[in-house]
Structure 1
Amino acid sequence: MHILIIEDEPELRRQITERLKRESWVAEGSGDGQEGLYLASEYSFDAAIVDLGLPGLSGLEIIRQLRAKESLLPILILTARDRWQDKVEGLEAGADDYLVKPFHSEELLARLRALVRRAAGTASRELRIGPLRLDLNAEQVWIEERPVELTAYEYRLLELLATSRGKILSKQALADRLYPHDEDRESNVIEVLVGRLRRKLDPEGQLSPIETLRSRGYRLALAEDAHEDGGG
């Protein structure tokens, strides 16, 4: 899993990051509210841990702005405040759960797992983005109703791009999520996979389905009229 940590205490941020890494999760952190909002808005994460008291932009404002953008990112609040009003404000702003400092790392992990399971349970089984259709259960792909045969890694790459709702995914983020246990992977593996995926999705060179953003990464660049169908 890929977790965003927005926490301004460097030592706590480091401790959380190290604990998540021991679970083979990928963690990315920021100690500034504005930067944290940018990361949450532009990049794909499975869940976010957000402290309420942040410089630049409060945790509550980060949550409000993400929900105003219709972000479905699961959010766990971290707070040193024990007033029940603060917890209620966080939940009403759109957070999914909260944890009061100090806390046990095992409880943090359990709550994150529960949030991600809950989010996955409400996801639709079929995803449509313009001419692209993915069956997330059967791991099958169609372009303009033409079936596309993909390898396991090609499919996983496409699913990551498609479920990120047009956000930018860096090569490092993609590599971490495709090969979480392979520290010796070649740096050009993602480029090769993207090239193969482009050719299979767009053999005539008319759709340009995957956009490259120099020094930033990749994102799916198909039509914006994406919709999800829960019917399967």
Structure 2
Amino acid sequence: MHVLIVDDDEETLGLVASALRRDGHRSSLATGPEQALRAIAEASFDVIVLDVMLGDRSGLDLCAELRRTELHTPILFLSARGTVAARVDGLDAGGDDYLAKPFAVRELLARIRALGRRGPSLRPTLVQVGAVRLDFTARKAFVAEREVPVTAREWDVLRVLADAHGRVVSFDDILDRSWGEVSEKTRASLEVIMSRLRRKLEVDGHPALFRTARGLGYALESE
């Protein structure tokens, strides 16, 4: 794989580049957004490793800019902030994964390999299933052209399901990406949210948008 590493810390750049070389991968380095944009214009990458804080500019902003240009290369965020809110910010900006510093090199490499196998992420911005329309850019949901209220956490769950393009997403994956925590408490919260979403997005009394794989997870139907 060819990996672009974007970080303003020389030590981190060297550490990640050396680890990738030992793992049999090529890497290109950028210390800021402008270098990163030039590198992306000149070459294609399998994965981008992106620091959240890049001097005067946020890596979140750079990620959002790349997604607006229809670049779908998987992006792994690195950050000293490991809170759930920080992880959600990274995913909402268009990131595919998030790893807090300090990190274990073996875990970093495993995550990069997983993203490389996944390939470019084609994240739907608009999902239409029958009379239900979900606009992820505007964060607006409609049932038969009537807008219905959806909370931030409900959008997080819908985002995870929509990214799977109709495939079943395990309960633990939904919890990890939406809450950053897998526990009995978050499992109970997920059940409550799915029940609310079914009620909000039902059409003519039929909650047809979601499919439950008993004992496995949920899927968002697609047309």
TM score, norm. by length of structure 1: 0.50
**1:56 CA drift (Å):** 4.5
Could you tell which deviates more after superposition, 109-118 or 80-89?
80-89
1:1-232 map, 5 Å: 1-119=1-119
Structure-2 separation of matches of 1:93 and 1:11: 26
- For the residue of structure 2 that corresponds to 1:113, the secondary structure is helix
Q: Which runs of 4+ in 1 moved over 6 A?
A: none
TM score, norm. by length of structure 2: 0.52
Q: Tell me, yes or no, if the aligned pair for 2:6 and 2:32 is still in contact at 8 Å.
A: yes
Count the aligned residue pairs.
Answer: 122
Q: Which deviations, in whole Å up to 9, do the C-alpha atoms of 1:53-96 show, x marking residues without a partner?
A: 00243100111011001111110000001222111111011100
Q: Which deviations, in whole Å up to 9, do the C-alpha atoms of 1:89-143 show, x marking residues without a partner?
A: 1101110001000011110111011111111798xxxxxxxxxxxxxxxxxxxxx
Specify the code of the residue in structure 2 equivalent to 1:57: R
Q: Tell me, yes or no, if the aligned pair for 1:41 and 1:66 is still in contact at 8 Å.
A: no
Quote the sequence identity (%): 40
Partner of 2:158: none
Structure 1 unaligned residues grouped into runs of 5+: 123-232
Specify the code of the residue in structure 1 equivalent to 2:58: S
Q: Which deviations, in whole Å up to 9, do the C-alpha atoms of 1:160-185 show, x marking residues without a partner?
A: xxxxxxxxxxxxxxxxxxxxxxxxxx
Structure-1 separation of matches of 2:91 and 2:121: 20
Structure-2 separation of matches of 1:120 and 1:8: 25
CA RMSD of aligned residues (A): 1.7
Q: Tell me, yes or no, if the aligned pair for 1:3 and 1:26 is still in contact at 8 Å.
A: yes
Structure-2 separation of matches of 1:98 and 1:56: 21
**Could you say if the C-alpha distance between residues 118 and 35 of structure 1 is closer, same or farther in structure 2, counting changes exceeding 3 Å?**
same
Q: Which deviations, in whole Å up to 9, do the C-alpha atoms of 1:25-57 show, x marking residues without a partner?
A: 111111112221332344211100000000243
Structure-2 separation of matches of 1:61 and 1:82: 18
Q: Tell me, yes or no, if the aligned pair for 2:77 and 2:97 is still in contact at 8 Å.
A: yes
- For the residue of structure 1 that corresponds to 2:87, the secondary structure is helix
Structure 2 unaligned residues grouped into runs of 5+: 123-223
Structure-2 separation of matches of 1:90 and 1:100: 11
